[in-house]
Amino acid sequence: MSSNQTLRLLMPQWQGGNHHAYPLCARLLEWLAPKGNSPTVEVPVKPCEAPSPLRENGIVEQNALLAQLQECEKNYTTP
Q: Which residues of the chain have pLDDT under 70?
A: 1-4, 50-51, 78-79
Of residues 22, 27, 74, the one with CA closest to residue 47: 22
Percent of the chain with pLDDT over 90: 4
- pLDDT confidence of residue 10: 86
- pLDDT confidence of residue 56: 87
- pLDDT confidence of residue 50: 64
| Global confidence as pTM | 0.68
Strand pairing report for 8-10 and 40-42: parallel
